[in-house]
Copies of this chain bind each other. A is one copy, B any other.
Amino acid sequence: MAAVDLTAHPGHLARRLQQAHYLLWNTMVSEEITSPQFAVLNALVAEPGLDQRTVGERVGLDRSTIAEVISRLGRRGLLDKVRDPQDGRRSLLRLTDDGVRTHRKLTVRTARMNQVFLAPLSVDEQTVFFDLIRRVSDAAEELRNPADPLATPS
């Protein structure tokens, strides 16, 4: 009585989608490096020397989570972390050679995995899929951070 159909709840679907992805990643990409870890490696390939907070911003990880992820990557020797001499609060991050190698290797595999993951959709549908998820995510993000860069200036 009064129970709800969860399959019409976007949150439930989002969770299931992520679980599905997690599983596929685990079998097709890596059991060592997780998807968020790969995102961090990728951000540092694009912009070496970023500080911890900014990396978190780039990949969508909050201050606590990014700290953990970076600590793990550092422990495995995939990146180096040094205090910024200009600003003693910051930690600057840079991939090691091993980190770069790992990123390159996983890049190939993630591409394959994404193909398999999206295989049930036509190419057009894939585009829509990306667009819809992005719009919903961005809007929710916006609710939190009323950044309004297009507000009418005085």
Q: Could you list which residues of chain A lie within 8 angstroms of chain B, going by C-beta atoms?
A: 1-4, 6-25, 35-36, 39, 42-43, 45-46, 59-60, 103-104, 107, 110, 113-114, 116-121, 125, 128-130, 132-141, 143-144
- A132–B119 Cα gap in the complex (Å)? 11
Sample of 9 further A-B pairs with CB below 8 A, known A16-B60, A17-B133: A4-B107, A9-B110, A10-B118, A10-B130, A11-B18, A11-B25, A15-B36, A119-B139, A129-B136
Contact between chains at B136 and A1 (CB < 8 Å): no
Contacts of A36 in B (CB 8 A): 15
Contacts of A116 in B (CB 8 A): 143
Chain B nearest CB from A149 CB (Å) reads: 17
Chain B nearest CB from A142 CB (Å) reads: 9
Contact between chains at A35 and B10 (CB < 8 Å): no
Contact between chains at A117 and B18 (CB < 8 Å): no
Contacts of A133 in B (CB 8 A): 13-14, 16-17, 129, 133
Contacts of A14 in B (CB 8 A): 14, 17-18, 21, 133
Name A125's contact: one of B103, B110, B132 (CB within 8 Å).
B132
Name A140's contact: one of B9, B11, B24, B107 (CB within 8 Å).
B24
Contacts of A114 in B (CB 8 A): 8-11
Contact between chains at B143 and A24 (CB < 8 Å): yes
Contact between chains at B140 and A4 (CB < 8 Å): no
